[in-house]
Structures are given as structure tokens and as C-alpha cells.
Structure 1
Amino acid sequence: MEPTHREVFERYVYAGAISRDPDAVAAMFTEDGVLDAPLVPDGHPLRRRLVGREAIRAGVALYHGQLTDQGAMNVERSAYILHDTADPEAFIAEIDVAFDQADGRRTTTSLVQIFRLRGGRIAMLRDYFAEPPPPAAPEDQDRAE
């Protein structure tokens, strides 16, 4: 039995945003899988388009290795909505990811991901995200809420 869209998405979030495990992320893709990040700027470690598990693993490892200011994902403050499509192998995720710094600063970034599956693995992932803004100081955060 193939995993549900929710199961694929939650495993992907755990492998990437929570545990930051590039091997686990790459293992979720088909051998010829594609990770496409069309909004990232030139020179970004994800290089806009990564093809194949090894390229995905290397790009995700480089990206996660460069994360210094993002902080830890706050699961309680993060949220997502999944949208099924007419194609049973495709779904869309709307995501608001909250990050907390050890010093109390916080930030949230919103993104959209389009998943296309094959045999229960990700064949194509279009990840429409931009880098989150710098974390707000705790006193600024209190005023914003």
C-alpha cells in the first residue's frame, strides 16, 4: 500500500525541516527525482533544480550546512494545508513554518510546494519558497502579536 499524501508530506517535513537529514530527504525521491526551487536566487545551494538522489542529497546537505540564523522549527506555531488534485499522484501543500532561536527571536516563512509522486516516492517537488526574514527580537515579536 502506498503512503497517503499526508504521510509523504509529514515524512518530508520531518526529514528536512525538523531533523535536517539530507540522506533521509534524498531517500524519499525516486532515483531520477527532481527538486525544483524556482524562486531561489543565483548562487543558492539548492541551485533551483536538482536532478537525482545524489544531487538532491548534496544540495540539501549544503543548504542545511549554511543555515545559521534560521533556528529550530517550532511545530506548534507552524501550520499547513494539503490540497488534493484531480491527479491522484499530485498534491499541493500551503505551509507557514515558524522558527525559534535559542535567544528568543522568532520568524515565520510561508511557502507552497507541489508534489508529484511515483510509486510512493517523490518524482518531482516544486518548492516555491524564499529565505525567511531575519528573526524578530523577542520584544518586537510581542508587539506584532
Structure 2
Amino acid sequence: MPNAGSSKRSLEEVSLLSEELFRKYVHAGAIRRDADAVAALFAEDGVFEAPLVPLRLVGRDAIRAGIGEIQRASAVEGPVDLSRSGYVLHETGDPGVFVAEIDTVFEDGTAVALVQIFRVRDGLITLLRDYFRAP
């Protein structure tokens, strides 16, 4: 049941908001490799989890530092080949949750498939579970 004063969003609005947030996340992380910009997309108490690594970062400062470390430690140096990479977003029964299936190909030919689950509140990521293994 919605809280008093809350407004319902149409599925189209939810999809547009999910798409916009996901694109900002990809642009900040995979394309620009900007840990500050990635952290800014999270709520102050947001959580980034990578269960297969395993890694859990709580709060913007920890996310900024942790994402920066992941980027520096990456075996892949080159940029993402956008023409060979793609994704599909899936809405869930909860308007604050969406899932991204991602196939990333880097310019050196390295390919990575991953799944991300986003929990969002007020346009910010509160929890991101990133199921990936570093190449």
C-alpha cells in the first residue's frame, strides 16, 4: 500500500527513470571510469555489493574508494567497444527495483557478461548488486 502523499508512477515513467539512471551509471563507470561520478549516483548510505568477488561497500566514500580500486586493478585497460556491447533492462513488480543484463566487449576483444540488480529511492541507488567476475 502506498504511503499517504506518495504518487504512483506509470510503468513507462519507471522504465524511463531506470533507463536514465542506468545510462548515467554506465557512462560514469565503464566509459569515463570516474569513481566520483559513480559514487554520486548512490544515496549517502548506499551499498555496492559484488557477491562473486566478494565485495561490499557501504556509503559514498567507501563506494568511491572501492570503485576506484576496482578500476585501477582491472586487467582491461582499453575502453568499452560500444558497437559490440549491449544491455537489456528488466522492470520488476517493485517500482524501485530493476535488473540489467549486460554484455560488455572492450576494444581489445575481452568480453564480460554480468547481471546487476538496482534498488533505487528518490533517483539514487540504495543498493547495487553487481554479479561479475573480473576478466
TM-score if structure 1 supplies the norm length? Answer: 0.80
Q: What pairs with 1:15-54 in structure 2 (closer than 5 Å)?
A: 15-41=28-54, 48-54=55-61
Unpaired stretches in structure 2, ≥5 consecutive residues = 1-12
Deviations 1:89-141 (A, max 9, x none): 0000000001013xxxx111100000000110000000000112xxxxxxxxx
Alignment of 1:96-107 (within 5 A): 96-101=103-108, 106-107=109-110
- Count of residue pairs brought into register by the alignment: 122
| In structure 2, distance between residues paired with 1:109 and 1:68 | 12
Distance (Å, rounded) in 1 between the aligned partners of 2:56 and 2:76: 24
Aligned to 2:5: none
Q: Specify the code of the residue in structure 2 equivalent to 1:67.
A: S
Aligned pairs for 1:74-89 within 5 A: 74-89=81-96
Is 1:108 matched up with 2:111? yes
1:131 is matched by which residue type in structure 2?
A
**Could you say what secondary structure the match of 2:106 adopts?**
strand
CA distance in 2, matches of 1:23, 1:69: 20
Aligned to 1:122: 125
| 5+ residue gaps, structure 1 | 42-47, 133-145
SS state of the match for residue 100, structure 1? coil
Per-residue deviation, 1:67? 2.5
Partner Cα separation in structure 1 for residue 26 and residue 103 of structure 2: 12
